[in-house]
Amino acid sequence: MIITIDGPAGAGKSTVGRELSRRLGFRFFESGSVYRALAFAVREKKIDPDDRAEICGLIPGLDLFHPRPEFYLPEIGDLASLLSALPEVRRDLLACQRKIAEDGNLVAEGRDMGSVVFPGAEHKFFLDASLSTRTRRRQEELAGKGESLKTEEVEAEISARDARDRTRKASPLIVPEGAVVIDTTGLGIAEVVETMLRQIGKS
């Protein structure tokens, strides 16, 4: 069984996805880690972010499914967001992402999991939340890493990422056909997971 969770930054996809996969005994795939792995390699090798051919040439040799702490540095996240908007990058990573589902029973979260990567998934969810809630969650995440940014800065960062994700030509962020939409504003992790389990019929 494949379960997809899509949604914008800060909606709770990763946190909820990990807990849902734990409750079900499924594997968990965070698609953002794939783009972060590529972004890290691009930065390490000092490749021009506009050199699409050289960027795509890195993909076959990457270990895409074992995230490292360095992948979650702010500058890597920003570069990953830019790379994810490149049609060539999304095309070449598509087969890599689908390969991880070959062993079955997977919870996959991202921004195009249910719409493009796994359109035939048995269960699809789309998580969303108010901008203020997503901003607060991002600030709390940064605080846990010893970083501090003003609310205005974090909100601007999320808004810019939203705009890139929703307007890019390749695999824009949309509500996948047949997805259950859950507004996580004001909801705890357990509440969201229980809602999903009821939909899946595993509660």
Predicted pLDDT of residue 202: 65
Query: What per-residue confidence (pLDDT) applies to 129?
Result: 95
Residue matched to tokens 């789309």: 126
> Could you say which residues of the chain have pLDDT below 70?
202-203
DSSP assignment, residue 9?
A: T
| Architecture field, domain 2-200 | 3-Layer(aba) Sandwich (3.40)
Q: What are the residues facing 28 on neighbouring strands?
A: 107
Query: For residue 168, what pLDDT is reported?
Result: 82
Which residue in this structure is represented by tokens 């493009």?
116
- Domain segments of the chain: what residues? 2-200
Q: Which pLDDT tens digit goes with each residue over 129-166?
A: 999 999 998 888 877 777 777 889 889 989 988 998 89
How far is 176 from 40, CA to CA, in rounded Å? 29
Which pTM value belongs to this model? Answer: 0.86
